[in-house]
């Protein structure tokens, strides 16, 4: 993941991006959450590779694992 994701305060306001691009990780994760497939993402962003998308997922998983936030159950 670390060789494919970069955080640079001079690029996209310091958001985590796919290295060498201005494509933020949250955009890829959001698109997947809305139903886009990996193949659709690769067509939409020809400058990225399948491994970049995997790195985005791994990055998001690492963030989710680090933050423990109780989820309130609806009665």
Predicted confidence (pLDDT) per residue in 12-29, tens digit: 999 999 999 999 999 999
In angstroms, rounded to a whole number, what is the distance separating the alpha carbons of residues 9 and 31? 24
Q: Which CATH architecture has domain 5-63?
A: Orthogonal Bundle (1.10)
In angstroms, rounded to a whole number, what is the distance separating the alpha carbons of residues 64 and 60? 6
Predicted confidence (pLDDT) per residue in 21-58, tens digit: 999 999 999 999 999 999 999 999 999 999 999 999 99
Q: Domain residues of the chain, as ranges?
A: 5-63
């Amino acid at each position: 993941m670390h060789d494919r994701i970069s955080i640079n305060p001079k690029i996209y306001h310091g958001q985590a991006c796919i290295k060498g691009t201005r494509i933020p990780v949250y955009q890829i994760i959001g698109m997947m959450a809305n139903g886009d497939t990996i193949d659709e993402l690769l067509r939409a962003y020809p400058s990225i590779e399948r491994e970049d998308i995997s790195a985005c997922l791994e990055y998001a998983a690492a963030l989710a694992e680090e933050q423990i936030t109780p989820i309130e159950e609806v009665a």
